[in-house]
Each structure stands twice: as C-alpha cells, then as structure tokens.
Amino acid sequence: MIAADLAFAPAGELARLVRERAVSPVELVRTYLERIDRWDARLHAYVTVAREASLSEAKAAEGAVARGERVGPLHGVPIGVKDQFLTRGLRTTNGTRTLAEFVPDEDATAVTRLREAGAIVLGKLNMPEGGMLGTRDWPFGQPRNPWDTDHDAGASSTGGGIAVAAALCAAALGEDTGGSIRNPASYNGVVGVRPTWGRVSRHGIMPLVWSMDTAGPMTRTVADSALILGVIAGHDPRDVFSARLPVPDYVAALDGDVRGLRVGIIRELFESGFLDQETAAAVRAAAAALAGLGATVDEVSLPTILLGGAIFCAIADSGTALQHREELLLAPERFDAGPRRRMLAASLLPVALYLKVEQARNLMRDQIRGALERFDVLLCPSAPAPAARIDRAQVATWTTEDLIRFWQRGSHTSPFSLAAVPALSVPCGLSGAGLPIGMQLVGRPFGEATILRAAHAYEAVSDVRTRRPPLS
C-alpha cells in the first residue's frame, strides 16, 4: 500500500493491519509525521506534535504485536487529540497563550481509554482560544480548510476536522459543546459524533459549559466513529454525571438496515431563508437515499429551533465567563479580543433573563424529545452553508443584526446540545466550489447506535468515503 493510501485508510482497517503484522505502528506514525511535516505549516491542524513520544509508543506497540500479546481494538493507531483534553506529559494549551507551557500530570478519561485500547497520541490539535468561536489571533496559527486553504475549517474542534480530512492522523478525539465536533466535521468532510451528554466522561476536559461539554470521535468513516465511541464511552466515577448505562456494541449496530426507520426532516431549518441552496439539495438527496433504503422520511416542525443559537450563546458565554471569572476581572487583556468581548457581554446579562433562557432551553428540549417520540431520527444540514472564506468568516465589526443572524445560523447544531441528545455529521456531498457539505442526524438520548446505523447505511450507498481533499 502506498503511503497516501495507508494514511487515508480507516482507523479500524489500520488496527487490523497492525494486528496481522501487515503494517508496523512505527510505519504508521512515520507516515503521519511525514504528512504533518509536509502539510501542517500551511494547515495548522496541530498545536503540539508528540514526535518522539509517539515513535517510542509505536516501537512498544510493534514489540507487543511481535510477541503475540493480546492487543486492544486501536492498537498502534495514531490519533490526534483536541488540545482541550489533558494529556499526561504533553502540553495542553486549551488554545490559549496563557497555558502555552502547561504540561498536565494526568490524562483525561477519554484519552486514558484511547491509550488503553492501544491508540498512540500523535499530538494535540488546534482550537480557538478556550474553545470560544470568534478568536481573531490564533495563538498557534490560523487553521485552514484542506479542501481550499482560503476557507475556514470550522470550530472549535478545528484541528480535528483538518487533521482527519487531510490524513494527518488516523482519527481524532474532539469535544462538542454547541456544535464543536459537528461543525468542523461538516466543513472538512469527515464524520463527527456528539454523543449524549453523560455518555462519555468529561473528566480531564477543560470546561467550557459544564452542562453541554461532550467528547466524541472525528473520523473518515462512520465505522471508525462507532469503534472509537465504543472505546471512550462508559461510566467514570470521576464524572458524577457520566451514565452507568452499559455501552452497546456500536460497530455491531452497523448492519445497513434502515427499513422502517422513521426519519423527520426539520422543516424550519430548510425554510430559514439563509440555507444555501446547494446544501439544501445535497441534504435532501441524502434523505432521499435513506428513503430509497427503506426509511420513512417525513417533515417535522420544531417551532423554536431558530432561537437555539441565541439561547446557546447566552448560556455558553455566561458559562465561559464563569470559568474565567478571576482572570476576566484581573487581567482581561490576556484573552484574545473576540472571546474577551463575548465573556464581558455575557457577564452583564440580567439574572432574570438568564433564568428565562434556561426555561426556553427546557421548552426546546421538550419539543425536540417530543419529535423524537414520533421519529427515530431527526435530519437537517449540519451547517447552513459550506465553509466561508477565512476573511469573511472573521467579522471585524459586528452589528446587533449580524450577531442575531450569526446565532440563527448556529441553530443547526446548538439546539441538540441544549436538549442533551446525540447528533452526528456525515459528509453528503461537495459544493460546486468543491467544499464539503454535511448531513446531521439526531437521535434519542443514548441512541447513538441508531444514528450511527443510519449514517453508515447512507455512507455505504454514497461516494463520500472515496473523496479526498485536493492537497498538492
């Protein structure tokens, strides 16, 4: 297998090749390190590359296979980790200059579980400051979309989307608060899963919003997401809100059978007035493909959904301001202007308005879960349009109307975070300009297996898996 094909192979396939001694973990790590050396000065997917540590771990992994030891399902597979997760002995910046030298002495639970499954942490992946959209001066380089490097790569698991799309790792561990896995997954043409809040431990994730922060996989195939989710999911005593429910075999759920699956297309997100027509057509074609496989597809109304972005930002910006309260009071200049202004504004919200926002969140949750009693899966675009040009994505001067429109556009992902239900983005096409388009599937609480099954069935009849970014 030539190096590029090896780099783009699914993580599960690489794990199989390692187990069968067809490929060495050392060869895999070197392959990705060479690609990082070649492409990342332009793409800026990584904040830190664990060059020596990953090679050392790869040699140990190679030895384990040679000795015939029992190995985990990700043995020898190089994975990138968002820089929001604590990693033992490997600096963790959370996208900030203030933590540029911080080296944790423990791993986040999700990272521990990846390592226990045999994965090799190749490095830490770029993200906006503190996970907050609106960062203007990226401390570790301006991330670029590998499908067109003049375009935005999404946020906040930005580096994960880039690195998986450009095959700078086999898969990535992302974090999603209001869409931070699904948005970059959509923009970069990869699969990204936000599990149910509580499905994966939050221990060791630098917090953004305690009631929405969720770890999840970013991969080139649905099967890889199923594999990795199965590894990282499950109860953790160090996160009191992590569910004690057993973890299903997500890979086994990918049986390709969606006959009788009830799929609800969210009407308001197709009638918003700002949905790009190519995006609408691609997502409707994907819905038709599911119908062709035997699913029942119908429309569903979620009347408050376009308020989701504003509700989310009120909660998220307030939560982030709380996380950084001391520094915001004492040294606000340490933050990039974008996140600082968001936190300052949220700090001035009347408490009564904040409580009303929480009420509205619950109303939205009830509407979404009510729809999920009538449908097995909800379906909509992951984003209202493909990635914008970087110079247009970064707004220099906001108006009130700009912000409200921006929040409405965020209503494609944030309502499902507010409702604490699982959702994923799966590629469903390319725009005329060659930029990826994502379809979002939303499931019932702890219903990850159902949305993975639907996404996998769709992926199997589409050509999305065969597409690669035109890096040259």
Known catalytic residues are: 82, 156, 180
- Report, in Å, the least distance between residue 95 CB and another protein: 20
- For residue 251, the Cα-to-chain-centroid distance in whole angstroms is 19
Task: Decide: is 332 part of the binding site for another protein (CB under 8 A).
Answer: yes
Question: Which parts of 371-400 interact with another protein (CB under 8 A)?
Answer: 372, 397-400
Task: For residue 24, state whether it binds another protein (rule: CB under 8 A).
Answer: no
Alpha-carbon gap, residue 94 to 91, rounded angstroms: 9
Beta strands in 44-200 (DSSP E): 46-49, 78-82, 120-125, 171-176, 191-194
Query: Least CB distance from residue 379 to another protein, whole Å?
Result: 18
Question: Of 194, 220, 340, 412, which lies in the binding site for another protein, with binding defined by CB under 8 A?
Answer: 340
Residue 277 or 400: the one with the smaller Cβ distance to another protein is 400
- The verdict on 35 binding another protein (CB under 8 A) reads no
> Phi/psi zone of residue 446: left (φ > 0), alpha (ψ -120 to 50 degrees), beta?
left
User: Using an 8 Å Cβ cutoff, are 389 and 150 in contact?
Assistant: yes
The whole-angstrom separation of Cα 126 and Cα 154 is 11
Nearest-approach distance from CB 195 to another protein, in angstroms: 11
The region that residue 4 occupies, defined by phi over 0 for left and psi between -120 and 50 for alpha, beta otherwise, is: alpha
H-helix or E-strand spanning residue 51: helix 51-66
Cβ at position 403, least distance to another protein in Å: 4
Specify the DSSP element, H or E, that contains 34: helix 25-43
Number of residues that bind another protein (CB under 8 A): 60
Q: Are 65 and 76 in contact (CB under 8 A)?
A: yes
- For residue 425, the cross-strand partners are 192, 440
Cα–Cα distance list, 390 to 73, 136, 219, 410 (Å): 38, 10, 24, 17
The runs of H, that is alpha helices, within 348-395 are 351-374, 390-393
With binding defined as CB under 8 A, does residue 304 bind another protein? yes
Q: Is 472 in the site for another protein (CB under 8 A)?
A: no
* Tokens matching residue 24: 């060495």
CA distance 261 to 297: 8
Min separation Cβ 394 and another protein, Å: 13
Q: Which of residues 421-450 bind another protein (CB under 8 A)?
A: 421, 444-447
* Sites for another protein among residues 145-164 (CB under 8 A): none
Helical packing angle, 51-66 and 25-43, nearest 10°: 160
Is 229 a binder of another protein (CB under 8 A)?
Answer: no
- 346 counts as binding another protein under rule CB under 8 A: yes
* Least distance to another protein, CB of residue 321, Å: 9
Q: Is 253 in the site for another protein (CB under 8 A)?
A: no
The reply on whether position 370 binds another protein by CB under 8 A is no
Cβ closest to another protein, residue 340 vs residue 456: 340
For the CB of residue 360, give the shortest distance to another protein in the complex, in Å. Answer: 5
- Of 310, 377, 428, 457, which one interacts with another protein (CB under 8 A)? 310
* Beta carbon nearer to another protein, 397 or 466: 397
Q: Tokens standing for 433?
A: 């300009």
Q: Select 41 or 353, whichever has its Cβ closest to another protein.
A: 353
| Residue ranges that bind another protein, judged by CB under 8 A | 196-198, 211, 235, 240-245, 304, 307, 310-311, 313-314, 328-329, 332-333, 337, 340-342, 344-349, 353, 355-365, 369, 372, 397-400, 403-404, 407, 418-421, 444-447
